[in-house]
Amino acid sequence: MNWTQRNLLDVDSLSRPEMELLLDQAGHMDQFLDRPIKKVPALRGRLVVNIFFEPSTRTRVSFELAQKFLGADVVNWSASTSSTKKGETLRDTAWTLEAMGADAVVIRHGMAGAPWYLKKKLRRASVFNAGDGAHAHPTQALLDVYTLHKNIGPLDGKRVVIIGDVLHSRVVRSNARAFKTMGAEVVLSGPRTLMPEEIAALGVEFQPDPAKAVEGADAVYLLRIQKERQEAGLFPSEDEYHRRFGADRELLAKAGKEAFIMHPGPMNRGVEIASALADGPESLILQQVRSGVAVRMALLFLCLGGEVSE
């Protein structure tokens, strides 16, 4: 099949064959990461601008590495040191960057829908969503699917249990779709106060008791608990959250089989995940980070139309 996408706003724009093609391409990129010299000139002469309105370590750095490994010219734009501080709108910032020749913009924004707005306003440049509000985080979902597939093979019929703050998570919305697209069964668990009303729209099972949810799990995926949610009274204390919903060896044993542990990061150790699991043999967390570079390389390569010379 031919790749026709030029942007990635969310995973629902990708069919299963497209996702498979992208994951296959990520496998090739993964091999580049083991080479002493990781650079290929696939995107030489292309200008990519990363505009992050929210903090990020993994997504920002891995997008930047992916762009540099593919030979693109990279500009890292920062809200705190830009004319945004003087009141410039997102639209004018985007037009300004495009006028300077940007071929692609990678955007993280606290407002749900910001990447869609940007896509509408830009005339030529591709847009990649690096996380918008509590809405979507498509490259996180793709790197998670890639990582799990790398470890257990095809995801058809596999049980992926996602535990935590579903209500405020952009990761879970994209991940549930991506895992389902690849044939996995997705189960959500966590406090009812942190579950959205539209849970049925995600087409997944909800099991409030994590011990029951993880039975038969192939992967247990923990979501970050945001400390400000405690102030809002959505869960009583971090200790109590950990006792009731946090993942530790005791919970993992309830899977009744070998299950992998995943987390998008950044982690709250001792809250949603015990260090014994985060750093244990079942943990794929650092593999997820590495996959982030390979998957973002594959995405940029396919969407920006580069050619790899071996």
- Let me know the angle formed at the C-alpha of 86 by 84 and 92, rounded to the nearest 5 degrees: 50
Shortest distance, CB of residue 104 to ligand CP, whole angstroms?
18
Token reading at 203:
């087409």
Shortest distance, CB of residue 300 to ligand CP, whole angstroms?
16
In this complex, which beta carbon is closest to ligand CP, that of residue 42 or of residue 300? 300
**Per-residue CA distances from 154 to 78, 150, 205, 209, 220 (Å):** 39, 9, 21, 27, 17
In this complex, which beta carbon is closest to ligand CP, that of residue 60 or of residue 158? 60
Shortest distance, CB of residue 87 to ligand CP, whole angstroms?
26
Closest alpha carbon to 115 in 97, 88, 144, 94: 94
Shortest distance, CB of residue 44 to ligand CP, whole angstroms?
26
What's the rounded Cα separation, in Å, for the pair 182 and 17? Answer: 9
Task: Give the 3-state DSSP-derived string for 190-215, with helices as H, strands as E and coil as C.
Answer: CCHHHCCHHHHHHCCEECCCHHHHCC
Shortest distance, CB of residue 268 to ligand CP, whole angstroms?
13
Beta strands in 79-180 (DSSP E): 104-109, 126-132, 159-163
What's the rounded Cα separation, in Å, for the pair 275 and 268? Answer: 9
Closest alpha carbon to 182 in 219, 230, 207: 219
In this complex, which beta carbon is closest to ligand CP, that of residue 138 or of residue 191? 138
Shortest distance, CB of residue 223 to ligand CP, whole angstroms?
10
In this complex, which beta carbon is closest to ligand CP, that of residue 40 or of residue 261? 261
| Positions that interact with ligand CP (CB under 6 A) | 56-59, 131, 140, 264-266
In this complex, which beta carbon is closest to ligand CP, that of residue 55 or of residue 153? 55
In this complex, which beta carbon is closest to ligand CP, that of residue 14 or of residue 285? 285
